């Protein structure tokens, strides 16, 4: 797995989201999405994104951005508002979990041309002084009965984690210190980071110790 070498600035982030699957027709059936076509799904998700995100807002996307004909589906995301950062998920063509180094080098410019800054698989940092991790993957759990990509998941040391991947229709806290932010649970719109702030504020102090404090 690849982890950021320097702490990520979570304080700059206004919205977080994951698992849009732009251009992926089968996700409508697989995740039970309420759309009649992939074109209609893409248009609606772009509209819902732009209804809440301003051009200057920082958005953290936790993976599985686009599938289908990848050049077309990634290019469509250029219409999304905001300064956009992507933590790769297993379906992204810049994912170390599923792509070769050569493949990532080939596809990275496509994402960058659409306005994305591609980040490592695991982000480590703080939000308002509280420790926080971000990854496409939860500590445990999957969208299938098989636990996939275990070597690309963060180690559970008790630090709060925000994640996607599961396509759970329930957003929010689970397993005491994890928080699911996938669009299937957030009405297909990015989640204001203020919701994460409220969650962090309610966690026990033992789950809020600063990263690197030695505690």
Q: Note the pLDDT tens digit of each residue in 30-63.
A: 999 999 999 999 999 999 999 999 999 999 999 9
Q: Each residue of 78-119: pLDDT tens digit?
A: 999 999 999 999 999 999 999 999 999 999 999 999 999 999
Q: Which residues of 73-90 are buried (b: 16+ CB within 10 A; e: fewer)?
A: bbbbbeebbbbbbbbbbb
Tell me how far apart the alpha carbons of residues 57 and 123 are, in angstroms, rounded to a whole number.
Answer: 19
| 8-203 placed in CATH 3.60.21.10 | yes
- The residue ranges of every structural domain in the chain are 8-203
Cut 0.85: pTM above it: yes
pLDDT tens, position by position, 168-212: 777 778 878 999 999 999 999 999 999 999 999 999 875 544 444
Instruction: With a cut of 60, say whether residue 65 has pLDDT above it.
Output: yes
Residue 215 banded pLDDT, cuts 50, 70, 90: very low
Edge-to-edge strand order for the sheet containing 58-61? Answer: 116-118, 83-86, 58-61, 15-17, 191-192
């Amino acid at each position: 797995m690849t982890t950021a070498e320097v702490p990520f600035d979570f304080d700059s982030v206004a919205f977080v989201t994951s698992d849009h699957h732009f251009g992926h027709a089968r996700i409508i059936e697989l995740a039970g999405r309420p759309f009649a076509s992939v074109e209609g799904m893409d248009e609606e998700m772009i509209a819902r994104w732009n209804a809440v995100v301003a051009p200057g807002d920082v958005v953290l996307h936790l993976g599985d951005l686009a599938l289908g004909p990848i050049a077309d589906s990634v290019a469509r995301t250029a219409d999304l508002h905001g300064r956009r950062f992507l933590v790769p998920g297993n379906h992204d063509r810049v994912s170390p979990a599923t792509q070769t180094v050569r493949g990532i080098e080939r596809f990275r410019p496509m994402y960058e041309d659409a306005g994305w800054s591609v980040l490592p698989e695991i982000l480590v940092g703080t939000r308002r002084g509280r420790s926080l991790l971000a990854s496409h993957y939860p500590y445990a759990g999957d969208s299938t009965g098989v636990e996939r990509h275990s070597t690309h998941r963060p180690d559970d040391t008790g630090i709060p984690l925000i994640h996607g991947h599961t396509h759970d229709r329930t957003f929010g806290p689970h397993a005491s210190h994890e928080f699911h932010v996938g669009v299937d649970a957030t009405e297909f719109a990015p989640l204001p980071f203020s919701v994460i702030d409220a969650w962090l504020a309610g966690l026990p102090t033992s789950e809020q110790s600063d990263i690197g404090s030695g505690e």
